[in-house]
Amino acid sequence: DVKVTQSSRYLVKRTGEKVFLECVQDMDHENMFWYRQDPGLGLRLIYFSYDVKMKEKGDIPEGYSVSREKKERFSLILESASTNQTSMYLCASSFAGFGYTFGSGTRLTVV
Amino acid sequence: GQQLNQSPQSMFIQEGEDVSMNCTSSSIFNTWLWYKQDPGEGPVLLIALYKAGELTSNGRLTAQFGITRKDSFLNISASIPSDVGIYFCAGLGSSNTGKLIFGQGTTLQVKP
């Protein structure tokens, strides 16, 4: 089975900190995605990547950046964390044309 | 961004009851998927549908890919307490980015 591993289940960071969320997949998937999930708002796409060093903005990229230096790793960066970025962050990967495999999520709290 | 219309938003049912939820879209999709998210976890794929009209079962779950390719439904028979969670539909179009379009989710609560 494909495994998507997110480095932290829970994180607490201070306002203004630079935050790194790491995601690693072990099945050579081309595509990787970062979503945030908030009550009543469903899953909102932040950024995605369909190849190494390639990235595309999703629906809510403001305040975030990403890095994909290796095929198996896709990092989400909060340049200067703010309280409105408190959320559940979900990473996913896939082969084109197939469904995603999600990680277990990182619950980030910014205080 | 584009989203699917998923209904109902939430359901509170008695254990043993059957459950039905559906998704509709103004766009055609080539693949429909149904995911379940347990509390505090990431979504897990339940059923994938690849052909219009396809009806697929996975245990007590049954899902169908609508003939028009613009809708899908998921049924759960004889619900049990561990069915609790959020159910998401997702559609995959013809673009080569592999990006899924998600419904807003149906929150299911089951009373023992």
A45 to B1: CB separation less than 8 angstroms, yes or no: yes
Q: What is the token pair recorded at B73?
A: 């439904």
Alpha carbon distances (Å) from B24 to A14, B3, B71: 41, 10, 4
Alpha carbon distances (Å) from A30 to A34, A58, A98, B105: 14, 17, 11, 26
Q: Which chain B residues have any C-beta within 8 angstroms of a chain A C-beta?
A: 1, 3, 31, 33, 35, 40-45, 48, 88, 90, 92, 96-100, 102-105
Give the tens place of pLDDT for each residue, B56-80. 999 999 999 999 999 999 999 999 9
Neighbours of A54 (CB within 10 A): 11
Residue type, B32: W
3-state class percentages of chain B: helix first, strand second, coil last, to nearest 5 = 5, 55, 45
What percent of chain B lies above the pLDDT cut of 90? 82
Nearest-Cα residue of chain B relative to residue A97: B98
pLDDT tier at B2 (50, 70, 90 boundaries)?
A: low
Segment A19-33 shows an average pLDDT of: 95
Residue B68 Cα, gap to closest chain A Cα (Å): 19
Per the CB < 8 A criterion, the answer to whether B57 and B75 are in contact is: no
Residue A42 Cα, gap to closest chain B Cα (Å): 5
Q: Taking the CA of residue A87 as centre, how many other CA atoms within 13 Å lie in the half-sphere pointing to its CB?
A: 22
